Amino acid sequence: GAVVSQHPSWVICKSGTSVKIECRSLDFQATTMFWYRQFPKQSLMLMATSNEGSKATYEQGVEKDKFLINHASLTLSTLTVTSAHPEDSSFYICSAGGIKGETQYFGPGTRLLVL
């Protein structure tokens, strides 16, 4: 149980295009999901908290107009990187949490390369 999937697993796009990444909880409902970004050999940086049925909460320094988050159902959150640039190339990971502050279940990640 507690499986989180992400799609796609990797994507290459041209600069200026938008990319949508999906995060799904496969066998449980998640009112809250989290989006992280990880640069090579670095730790995970929380970008935003995705709340089902309401607006996402973004961390300081994360542009909400650039990283659009939609949590349309209890099992799906999407992250859209709008007008992607090479500096947006990174590993994007989502997670879905249990009860407050408890174990989070992570997706396998999406590697984005912007040319």
3-state SS record for 2-62: CCEEEECCEEEECCCCCEEEEEEECCCCCCEEEEEEECCCCCEEEEEEEECCCCCEECCCC
Q: Distance (Å, rounded) from C-alpha 27 to C-alpha 49?
A: 20
Choice between 16 and 98, CB closer to another protein: 98
Q: Distance (Å, rounded) from C-alpha 72 to C-alpha 63?
A: 20
**Is 87 an interacting residue with respect to another protein (CB under 8 A)?**
no
**Is 29 an interacting residue with respect to another protein (CB under 8 A)?**
no
**Is 104 an interacting residue with respect to another protein (CB under 8 A)?**
yes
The mark string for 57-86 relative to another protein (x by CB under 8 A, - otherwise) is: ---x--------------------------
Question: Residue 77 Cβ, how far from another protein at the closest point, in Å?
Answer: 14
Residues that bind another protein (CB under 8 A): 4, 6, 32, 34, 36, 41-46, 49, 60, 91, 93, 95, 97-109, 111
